[in-house]
Amino acid sequence: MNPWLIATPTVLTAGAGLIAYAARHPRAQLFGPVVSYTNSPRKLAITFDDGPNPSITPQFLDLLTRYNARATFFLIGRYARECPSLVRELVARGHVAGNHTQTHVNLFRTGPSHTRDELRRCQDSIAAASGIAAPPKWFRPPWGLRSPWLGSAVSELGLRAVMWSLLPGDWRASNEQWLIDRSAPIAERGQHAAANSTGDILCIHDGSHDRQNADRTHTLAALAYWLPRWRDLGLEFVTIEEAVSTPAL
């Protein structure tokens, strides 16, 4: 059954343009609250989607350790079950494991019970893989796509939804320089941090939703380029937990 047939009257009368905005825009709150910025211009939250990826996640972890950087990994549940040691490793290094659904489903096309099931199964997969009792507290919808019933599913599981302030599009990078250039807005804003009240949430990918062992070497190279430069600008690399905690840096 098409889940939109049972959408709330408010949503159905909202119009296609507004629905598209609410479902896709990284700062739209119409389908439930989302976090799109950190609470300080000095805090940069680096977030990785679609892992863990055994072919390259270990290299991202080593790079982050070199710069004493903590980050957030929004994991696909079935990959977490396939690679539990990687989940344990990233948690042991101080990073946050977040929920990115069990199978990377399009939640705009998924009905209420299927939506809840995808989120719950991913919670279980990450908890089982990590060996920690506490399930994830943070959630990122695949492709950033949301629906009118996502907000209640997210809050029922004690989750908070996270979007981003910068999505450079690393999955379509044909070389590292393209991706380095696309990530420049973070440094530009970092140079004028005193004029801002919020900081960036960067969304990049250590894996791919459609295959395991995806090649993310351009992403790794661009991050290796920017980390020392961001550090020189005074940016702190924080988890999404730290990105919203008080006091702000």
Q: List active site positions.
A: 49, 205
Side-chain-side CA neighbours of residue 86 (13 Å):
26
Number of residues binding to Zn ion, judged by CB under 5 A:
3
Residue 233 Cβ vs Zn ion, minimum distance, rounded to whole Å: 28
Contacts 24+ apart (CB under 8 A), 178-184: 178/218, 179/218, 179/219, 179/221, 179/222, 180/222, 180/225, 180/226, 183/222, 183/226
Where do runs of H (alpha helix) occur along 70-215? 77-82, 84-92, 112-130, 150-156, 176-182, 184-190
Pull the structure tokens for residue 160.
């908070």
By CB under 5 A, tell whether 206 contacts Zn ion.
no
Residues 135-154 that bind Zn ion (CB under 5 A): 142
Interface with Zn ion (CB under 5 A), residue from 19, 32, 35, 50: 50
Residue among 50 and 118 whose Cβ is closer to Zn ion: 50
Task: Give yes or no for residue 170 binding Zn ion (CB under 5 A).
Answer: no
> Shortest gap between Cβ of 238 and Zn ion (angstroms)?
21
What is the separation of C-alpha 27 from the centre of its chain, rounded to a whole number of angstroms? 14
Of 99 and 130, the one with the shorter C-beta distance to Zn ion is 99
Q: Tell whether residue 49 is a contact of Zn ion (CB under 5 A).
A: yes
Q: Find the part of the chain contacting Zn ion (CB under 5 A) among 11-19, 43-51, 146-154, 217-225.
A: 43-51
Interacting residues with Zn ion (CB under 5 A): 49-50, 142
